[in-house]
Structure 1
Amino acid sequence: MAKTLQRLVATSNDPNQYFRLEWLKEKMQYRSPLRKFKVSLLAAMEELERVEIITAGRIGISGRGVEQAILTRA
């Protein structure tokens, strides 16, 4: 999962990147419930922070009320 996130972050020069959780779940072909996906996603974001690919990663709510991953590039 961290590898997929790393590839997504690398495709854009935007310092802050936003990805809908449902879209990420489908993109990664993750079949467990969304609550388990969130746990795995947070762990993957922590790993990317540890290796300094991103400086921050979190799950937030968009202006439209949709859950999204928010990643800040290093």
Structure 2
Amino acid sequence: MLSSANLDFTGMLIDIAFMLFFGVGAGYSLIVGIIHIIQKKTKTFGYYLRTFLISGIIGLALGALIVMMWVQSL
């Protein structure tokens, strides 16, 4: 039964990368937005889009670094 399982590792890696990018990006943008609401600062949509993209890229880079360190320790 186990041999009939079709595991798509490439698809799983892409899904994990998307979840990491969008999760970190949305989480950081949400935190920054809440802080700006509390401080009563007004920012443009472009500002939040840039923070989303930059934090998503940083999250992907940190995730890749962690995986590389884990693989080298094996």
Bucket of the pairwise TM-score, normalised by the shorter protein: 0.3 to 0.5
User: TM-score, normalization: structure 1?
Assistant: 0.36
Structure that is richer in strand per residue: 1
Q: Normalized against structure 2, the TM-score is what?
A: 0.36
Looking at secondary structure, tell me which structure has more helix per residue. Answer: 2
Higher Cα Rg: structure 1 or 2?
A: 2
